[in-house]
Amino acid sequence: MKRFGLVLIAAILGSALTVGTFQLIEQKQSKTFKIEHISGAPVIGAAYTVNNSGELVPLDFTGVAEKVRPAVVHIKSTQMQSAQSSTDPFGELFDDELFRHFFGPNYRYQSPQPKNQQPQAQVGTGSGVIINPDGYIVTNNHVIDHADDIEITLEDNRVFKAKVIGADPSTDLALLQIKATDLPFIPLVNSDEVKVGEWVLAVGNPFNLTSTVTAGIVSAKGRNINILQDRSAIESFIQTDAAINPGNSGGALVDLQGGLVGINTAIASPTGAYTGYGFAVPANIVSKVVGDLKKYGMVQRGYLGIMIHNVDGNLAKEKNLDVTEGVYVDSISAQSAAGDAGVKAGDVILAVDNTHVKTSSELLEIIGRHYPGDKVNLTIDRKGKEAHYEVTLRNRDGKEKMYEQNTKDILNVLGVELEEIDSATAKKLDIACGLRITNLQNGKLKRHTEIRAGFIITKVDGKVVTTVDDFIKNLENKEGGVLLEGVYEDYPGKYYYAFGL
């Protein structure tokens, strides 16, 4: 009986504990499934930064993203091409250059096409940044190069046709304008003051995904990645790890105050998509190029007239230099501004106007912001001794003056260098006179016609031209269509090329 009482008491206690345990589980389960809603939750920064007042504040990108997105546009660039080449039976073996050698400069292989087949449209897309409320947009030259039609879509879905004000292949920048006013825009900052490690946002339209924002930091400055195929290329990119992809070209790289740090231009990628780093043209270069394109229709740029490359430990050892940083002067060109000022091959440029330069890209960026006729002071190391030289910069032709609007610069707008043919050549070709294109660069003629170097211009809009001055005068203040007539020395017949100014 006593044992039975103990068993009964144990059973009662066990039951009580079991009930208590289930009650606790039910309470916990009811708490687990309880759902609470919080409205107006503040954004919690993952990191902190210091504002202009020196206060520690949460790092938040929402404000700057909202501010800059309306000023970044989508660009659709359309180039019309003849319906050909896709079924060209010779395409795998030969190119047009070989056939032109035999059949003349205007030869184009045309594969058989239906009679009514229309030209094919090649469409590319990119981004642009509104930098002025009156519709001025800066983008990359490669986004709109050779385009027959440029369409701009704003963030509010309004669509405009764009006019090309000017382009600069040397920096891969172009200036466009649309017919609109009171637009949101992004002001430019002094990119010299941007620091490595500073937060930045990349804004653009990668893969046609409009108004995309990514965040990162400035990873490096003054990068040269050798992507611009122009003889006067200036590459001094800002490197960032903010994600940049195809379609971001021409978009904005901004700081946390919403200022334009640079124009996104390229990525370092073995796949064609983002793999870690992107590159942007610094805002100070953008400012110089855009200002010149707006004022002159071309970029007025000063030149030192030297061949250069970076100094490193290997070069210092090879050349027996006393420094391991700076820009080595490999050779002096003809009509060199630096050479005439006293700079010699073998010198190392250490600074420009007391601004230290470690690489050739930094030197090109600083000099490229100046105009022909500007004076700069170079600090030179020559065999261990420091010297200073004042250099008056020159234009590409070796002269200490800028090209005049609507005169000499028309040749640069067209992208040509001309020379008058001699009487023997004129007699041989049975023409009275003419101007031979000795050099064809990236300009209106190369972009919009099939003209080739060596073409001899005999008439402009039906008027005979005998000198380069005649040619320039015929195109002074010219607007609208222009027709060039002339001949090639090695091909029979006359040829005509039309373009617009």
Domain termination site, one of 272, 297, 322? 297
Domain termination site, one of 246, 275, 297? 297
Catalytic residue among 74, 127, 172, 347: 172
Residue 74 in any domain: the answer is yes
249 is catalytic: yes
Same domain, 148 and 232: yes
Buried b (16+ CB within 10 A) or exposed e, 233-244: bbbbbbbbbbbb
Q: Which residues contact 464 (CB under 8 A, 6 or more apart)?
A: 432, 433, 458
pLDDT for res 104:
47
Residue 286 in any domain: the answer is yes
Q: Which residues contact 259 (CB under 8 A, 6 or more apart)?
A: 186, 187, 188, 189, 283
pLDDT for res 7:
44
Cα distances (Å, whole numbers) of residue 438 to 316, 402, 490: 40, 22, 15
Under a CB-based contact definition with an 8 Å cutoff, are residues 305 and 337 in contact? yes
Residue 161 in any domain: the answer is yes
Same domain, 67 and 189: yes
For residues 490 and 436, what is the distance between their CA atoms, to the nearest angstrom? Answer: 13
Same domain, 428 and 364: no
Structure-token pair, residue 445: 């003629």
Same domain, 66 and 180: yes
For residues 393 and 355, what is the distance between their CA atoms, to the nearest angstrom? Answer: 17
For residues 302 and 364, what is the distance between their CA atoms, to the nearest angstrom? Answer: 10
Count of CB atoms within 10 A of residue 12's CB? 10
pLDDT for res 86:
40
pLDDT for res 92:
36
Structure-token pair, residue 167: 């382009």
388 is catalytic: no
The residue among 61, 38, 37 whose CA lies nearest residue 49 is 61
Count of CB atoms within 10 A of residue 229's CB? 9
Residue 458 in any domain: the answer is yes
Q: What is the pTM of this model?
A: 0.73
Same domain, 452 and 324: no
Residue 32 in any domain: the answer is no
Cα distances (Å, whole numbers) of residue 416 to 173, 192, 203, 394: 20, 34, 37, 19
Same domain, 127 and 255: yes
DSSP 410-452: HHHHHTEEEEEPPHHHHHHHT-S--EEEEEE-SSHHHHHS---
Residue 163: HSE in the Cβ half-sphere, 13 Å Cα cutoff: 12
For residues 287 and 171, what is the distance between their CA atoms, to the nearest angstrom? Answer: 12
Catalytic residue among 77, 142, 191, 292: 142
Catalytic residue among 77, 170, 191, 249: 249
pLDDT for res 384:
93
Quick one: how far is CA 211 from the chain centroid?
19
Same domain, 387 and 465: no
The residue among 55, 84, 24, 68 whose CA lies nearest residue 252 is 68
Same domain, 267 and 204: yes
> Tens place of pLDDT for every residue, the chain, 501 residues?
444 444 444 444 455 444 454 454 445 444 455 555 555 555 555 577 776 677 877 788 999 999 999 999 999 999 876 544 443 333 333 444 444 444 444 444 444 445 555 667 889 999 999 999 999 999 999 999 888 899 999 999 999 999 998 899 899 999 999 999 999 999 999 999 999 999 999 999 999 899 999 999 999 999 998 888 777 889 999 999 999 999 999 999 999 999 999 999 999 888 888 888 999 999 999 999 999 998 887 788 999 999 999 999 999 999 999 999 999 999 999 889 999 999 999 999 999 999 999 999 999 999 999 999 999 999 999 999 999 999 999 998 888 988 765 445 688 778 888 999 999 999 999 999 999 998 887 678 887 888 999 999 999 999 999 998 889 888 877 888 899 999 999 889 999 999 887
pLDDT for res 351:
97
For residues 372 and 394, what is the distance between their CA atoms, to the nearest angstrom? Answer: 4
Same domain, 465 and 372: no
Residue 104 in any domain: the answer is no
- How many independent structural domains does the chain possess? 3
Q: At what angle do helices 283-296 and 360-368 cross, to 10 degrees?
A: 40
Residue 113 in any domain: the answer is no
360 is catalytic: no
Q: Is 369 exposed, middle or buried (CB count within 10 Å of its CB: 0-12, 13-18, 19+)? A: middle
Residue 18 in any domain: the answer is no
Same domain, 385 and 473: no
For residues 158 and 176, what is the distance between their CA atoms, to the nearest angstrom? Answer: 16
Same domain, 216 and 351: no
Under a CB-based contact definition with an 8 Å cutoff, are residues 472 and 410 in contact? yes
Q: CATH number of the domain at 220, please.
A: 2.40.10.120
- Quote the domain boundaries for residue 454: 409-500
Residue 132 one-letter amino acid: N
Same domain, 218 and 343: no
Q: CATH number of the domain at 354, please.
A: 2.30.42.10
